[in-house]
Amino acid sequence: APAAWSEVLDRLTARPPLAGLPGGMLVMGILNVTPDSFSDGGRTDPEAAIGAGRGLVAAGAGLVDVGGESTRPGGVAVTPADEIARVLPVVSRLAAEGVCVSVDTRHAATMAAVLEAGATVINDVSALADPGAAEIVAQAQAPVVLMHMRGTPQTMDAHAAYGDVMAEVLDELDAAIGRAVAAGVGRERIIVDPGIGFAKTAEHNLVLLRGLPALANLGCRVLLGVSRKGFVGAATGQARADRRAVGSIVAALPGLAFGDVILRVHDVAQTVEALRMWSALHGVVEGVIGPQGIGKFGK
């Protein structure tokens, strides 16, 4: 019955602006302040990281995602104290300069510290699994990314077994949404991420990307992170992660089925250029790519 669909339709069509930015396609620039991230680790000097963050914004990023712990397969876990020491100077400075800062963390203590320091968005690969994390996000009324993963970054490769990967990822994300809402997180503040490359084989990743429009059934904004990942290298034959920009952009195209997708990328300038071209081809005259938007084409 039409009435039964009204709540879902309202969620899909009347979502408020996210993180102070209007709806539309957004590019989230990746800023790792870790010594061991898979493609760009080693940027641990705060001043260098702050400069890199400014560069991401200048290139068109609408959000800068700061991470202090590598979540690559088999990455070394860090304590919340070490993570806070890495990210806090960067978050504080960028937020003070008006940058919309997201922090990639799975630790409740880090979430509390960075939200206090001015971060706007929490991006959690564990979907708020850490005790107290959901309550901290709820109290701050912060937008939060809930990503699908099984196990931890250290163990996830052992959990890449599915009967129907699309159905199981949807079910597990739906359960994560339910837990967050039960803890007081507003559903309109939840962003879902299918977790490409996390407890997934290369074939699982391709299946998820082919079926990505099914994520609309969850009624939340979608974040897609495919940038420089191993399955892109496998498909393109490009062994070097920092040379996978073209393959990464093509892999992200299924996400454009969502008008307000967030693309988490390393190569911001190239992604923005590709999205401008895609928008022009598809007649998208009102969209957002970065803080200044994409403008109106043909005028």
Asked, for residue 201, whether it belongs to a domain, the answer is: yes
For residue range 225-241, list pLDDT tens digits in order.
999 999 999 999 999 99
Q: Is residue 127 part of a domain?
A: yes
Q: Quick check: is 14 in a domain?
A: no
pLDDT in tens, 112-166: 999 999 999 999 999 999 999 999 999 999 999 999 999 888 889 899 999 999 9
Residues labelled catalytic: 229, 264
What is the rounded average pLDDT of the residues 181-191?
95
Query: Region 35-57: what's the mean pLDDT?
Result: 78
CATH of the domain at 128: 3.20.20.20
Residues 44, 86 contacting (CB under 8 angstroms):
yes
The answer to whether position 293 is within a domain reads no
Any domain includes 110: yes
DSSP letters for the chain:
-HHHHHHHHHHHH-PPPBTTB-SS-EEEEEEE--S--TTTTT---HHHHHHHHHHHHHTT-SEEEEESS--STTPPP--HHHHHHHHHHHHHHHHHTT--EEEE---HHHHHHHHHTT--EEEETTSS-STTHHHHHHHHT--EEEE--SS-TTTGGGG---SSHHHHHHHHHHHHHHHHHHTT--GGGEEEE--TTSS--HHHHHHHHHTGGGGGGG-SEEEE--TT-HHHHHHHT---GGG-HHHHHHHHGGGGGSTT-EEEES-HHHHHHHHHHHHHHTT--S--SSTT----TT-
**pLDDT of 2:** 56
Would residue 13 count as lying in a domain?
no
Strand partners, 63: 28
CA 152 to CA 148: how far, in whole Å? 11
Q: Determine the pLDDT at residue 17.
A: 63
- Domain span at residue 246 reads 22-281
At residue 20, the pLDDT reads 53
Q: Rounded to whole angstroms, how far apart are CA atoms 269 and 276?
A: 11
Number of domains in the chain: 1
Antiparallel, parallel or unpaired: β 190-193 and 101-104: unpaired
pTM of the model: 0.88
296 within domain boundaries: no
pLDDT greater than 70 at residue 250: yes
In a domain, 289, yes or no: no
pLDDT at 37 over 80: no
* pLDDT at residue 73, as a whole number: 74
Give the pLDDT band (50/70/90) at residue 1. Answer: very low
Q: For 194-217, how does the pLDDT look when each residue is reduced to its tens digit (9 = 90+)?
A: 999 999 999 999 999 999 999 999
Phi then psi dihedrals of residue 119, to 5 deg: -65, 150
**Highest averaged pLDDT of the listed ranges 8-17, 36-45, 122-131, 146-155:** 122-131
- What was the pLDDT predicted at 35? 79
As a whole number, mean pLDDT of residues 281-287 equals: 65
